[in-house]
Chain A
Amino acid sequence: MKKRSRLVIVLLVILMCGFFLYPTLKWYGGVPQSTKELATGSNVQIKEYSRGQASRDLRALKELVAKDSLTILPDEYGYLKEQAKANYKAMKKPVPKTWTVAALFGGFYNEQDLFDSCEQYYRTELLGLKALSAKALQLGLDLRGGMSILLEADVKAFEAKKGSSATAAQVTAAVKQDIEILEKRIDQFGVSEPVIRLQGTDQILIEVPGAADPERVNSFLRGKGSLEFKMVDTALTTQLDAYYKANPSEVYTDSGALKQPDFLPAGKLAAGYYVSDSYGIDELDRFVVIEEEVGLDGSHLESATTSTDGITGRPVVNFQLDSVGGDVFYKLTSTHVNETLAVVMDGKVKAMATITQGIRNSVQISGFNAAEANDLAIVLRTAALPIELTVSSQQAVGATLGEDAVAAGLKAIALGLLLVVLLMFGYYHVSGLVANLALLFNVVIMLSVLSAFNFTLTLTSVAGLILTLGMAVDTNVIIFERIKEERRLGKSDIASVRAGFDKAFWTVMDANITTIIAALVLSQLGSSSVKGFANTLAIGIVSSVFTALFVSHLIFDAAVTDREGKKLHISWRKN
């Protein structure tokens, strides 16, 4: 391969490393700790925070206007200017020169619009940071503390419920539904950055970093989503809608919860009608007033599916109730014909439908698009896990235990690295420095590949990293020793370097390919902690071969051709 193409490839790799490492460097280097904590909160926490902040800003702005509408807009609300400018332009009005509070209010259509802009500002910032943190290299549970739980599907109970034996594919399908449900549930418990994934065919691995509060995690696993059917009060709903529209700052309390207005009589509740939103979680669409009394409890629900209506071709959701539930539901629906029924999950209205006639066991709801129907079916199913889960293993590491291990481990790695660097220089002279450069480059490549593939850095992957450093040096050692031998035969520097790299090529390849076979087998068959080790090792082998054959080779070629007549230093001895 020509020197130039080799140089181009090396430069390309450096660029790619920079690209993949950037989020990691930015996250650990440029984000203040308090913001980090906010951004790593759950989406629900971010939402509550954004809404709370928006309510606070809106109230403060209203107070300023009431006091003196010509006050210059304080800097902390400067973020609103952009949107106000755009609105002025859209309204075809002149953009004000000095931003007073009144001028700012003029830039928004109504209070709700202003509130939305405030919320969007806080939301965009935090969600952006959250996305950044997802791209950054994260520490594994063993390094920063946390809890990992392996759950196993209770196949016997599943078969008993089903009444026949279940195939592995059926079990896996049910476990996948469980995962879907757990994912929806876990966010509501305010657990940050949880990992939930299928392991094997019938196991679920859950990893919760940080707060290793077993109580909280257990309550999440046990807690069945509360699903209820309740009647809607249409007249009060219209009144409530008008009230909230007129007073957007009165909708939420500071903690982001819904405020119950005073005019609602006892036994009636204001609730939000939610659809999936830009946080990826439930967003309030509008408000409805529902009866406090439960029409039907979701525990009577047996199954829920989506299908298409044979006549109209529109998507519908079908669900089956057990016999007790069927009786209750029939009584409810037959006395409330032409009224609206709401499906309420954890206090949020997820769907509404008008009752056309009395219904018993088999219920069909229509009136939404395919995606909405699918969502509702999931909501209905979320009430119970399709297949029960038992805890197969649970491991918790206190964060401090992790911290000590990290500190000691990092110190040891740094020391090991330093010793290797010194040893290489001591033995191979300037050429040792080339190997050291290749070694450092190797570390950078490995870290960037780890972050590119979203691997977490665990204790065992750190071990893999160290081993790879030893092997990266080894590849250079094989080549150097070969170059030395060639020179002992009386060859010139250029000829020795060429022969050294050529002859060592297959040695290096054979040696590394056999090791990568072991690494790949492990990454497929090993347990999760061994997998982390194997992945790092596999990445490290590829990158160490690359750095030796490209980076070291390039430097050697440059050294022997550009410094004609000077001696290549590959040892302190004169030979």
Chain B
Amino acid sequence: MVKKDIPVTKFRWYSWILAIVLLLVGGISLVVNGGFNLGVDFESGLSQRIQVAPAGLSVSYSGSEDATLSITGSSLSLEMRGSEGVAVTLFKSASYPTASDLAAALNAVDKITATAIDGSLLTANLLSGYGFPATLSQEPTKLNFKATGAVSIEEIRSALNDLGNVKVQTIGASDSQTFQVRLGIKDNDTQSSMEEAVRGALDSYFGKGSVVVLSSDYIGAKFSANLLSSSILAIIVAMALILVYVWFRFKFAYAVSSLIALLHDVLMLLGVIALFRFEFSSTTIAALLTIIGYSLNNTIVIFDRVRENVSLNKSASLAAQIDKSVTQSMSRTIMSAVTTLVAILPLAIFASGDIRMFAINMGFGILFGTYSSNLLAPTMLYWISKAQKKANVVQKVVTAE
């Protein structure tokens, strides 16, 4: 069975023109969109994830043990840690469907006082946020319930309007009532002053205790600057070391070609991130570096084949050898891309947050990496080798004279 080789070198101009056009699209969208959508890691300030949810229950404790309340799924668990060990009581929403049922059950526990603020709320909608598991004290702890109401993003914006430099985004479906709030640092702002400012503004607009903070991240100015510079440094150092290794194991032309292919992958992925306004976080850096590793892996497998074929048959032209090598590696290339994509796809669909973004970035990266390893790196190798040969010939002629 003799298969015809894929004419990779013949189509070299088309492959490169397509790559350059796509890179331009990425570059233009970066300019149009006004830079990257930098994640909280890279932009100093306070970033909070909040959910609008009314307080339905307040609980206080007057005893001397360590009492903590935590919410898992739709059930509430009360943990008493004292000299007699740890006692955990679970209140399932199936047994106590409403806030007033739950209040009655909690009141039955020694030294615990629970008051229903809105007894009709369903305990299946209990919400756990920042500050949970909560340590109970005389000071009442409020329990919030997911709301069905429709607070719009505009209302959040106008609530926080006075704070100045605020960005608000909706997270998930609009009926989940969850928002991301970002606040830039002004002079003399500390984390707690910013947190209080946000809380105060929301309380005065929506009523006290009806907004739950799900997570709160604070990034100092120096930290974000450090993170960016250390990430860029990591990428540059990694690429330089890889260049040295490939140079050592193969030849200079191979090293430069593989590096140019890598540069293409990194720039393409950055272009996609700019085009779709994906958040650029430290996980993005991880994805970029993984793609460098993955694409390089692909390129090396093909180059390995080129080197082998060249040493086996010195008379054939380099273009034919390259076409043959790419074709021989094709089934491996496809299998490897498909298995990796298949492992990552469920994460891109079902996972959430950072890990989902990582998977999406990886998916694009695998496509770009496969493209560059098969079409860009080998043709670049062809060009550089040809140029080197020409230079060698010229040099020989010069020495002969």
Contact = CB atoms under 8 A, between A and B. Distances in A.
Nearest to B355: A459
B233 interface: yes
Contacts of A33: 88
A122 to B, nearest CB: 10
A515 to B, nearest CB: 4
B340 interface: yes
B217 interface: yes
Interface in B105-160: 128-135
13 contacts: A152-B223, A398-B215, A412-B347, A423-B338, A463-B355, A463-B359, A467-B344, A473-B339, A514-B293, A515-B297, A518-B292, A527-B282, A533-B286
A398 B332 contact: no
B354 interface: yes
A460 B285 CA distance: 11
Contacts of A537: 290, 293
Nearest to B192: A218
Taking residues whose C-beta sits less than 8 angstroms from the other chain, chain A's interface range is 35 or more
Given A49-B83, A400-B132, A514-B293, A470 B88 contact: no
Nearest to B68: A211
The secondary-structure label for the interface of chain A is: helix
B267 interface: no
B357 to A, nearest CB: 10
B85 interface: yes
A251 interface: no
Interface string B275-318: 00000001101100110111011101100110010000000000
A408 B345 CA distance: 13
Contact of A462 (B82, B238, B343, B355): B355
B249 A510 contact: yes
Interface string A410-427: 011101110110011001
Nearest to B129: A398
Given A211-B133, A394-B218, A411-B350, A514 B242 contact: yes
Interface string B176-218: 0000000000000011100000000000000000000011111
B79 A514 contact: no
Taking residues whose C-beta sits less than 8 angstroms from the other chain, chain B's interface range is 35 or more
A56 interface: yes
A427 B335 contact: yes
Interface of A: 33-34, 37-38, 41, 45, 48-49, 51-53, 55-56, 142, 150, 152, 190, 210-214, 216, 218, 254-256, 390-401, 403-405, 408-409, 411-413, 415-417, 419-420, 423-424, 427, 459-460, 462-463, 466-467, 469-471, 473-474, 477-478, 481, 485, 488, 503, 506-507, 510-515, 517-519, 521-522, 525-527, 529-530, 533-534, 537, 575
B285 A526 contact: yes
Contact of A255 (B82, B351, B352): B82
Contacts of B165: none
A474 B336 contact: yes
Contacts of B241: 517, 521
Contacts of A460: 283, 286, 354-355, 358
Contacts of A511: 296-298, 300-301, 304
Given A398-B131, A419-B343, 14 more contacts: A52-B82, A53-B85, A210-B133, A254-B83, A395-B215, A405-B353, A459-B354, A463-B283, A477-B336, A511-B300, A511-B301, A514-B246, A529-B286, A533-B286
A522 B85 contact: no
B341 to A, nearest CB: 8
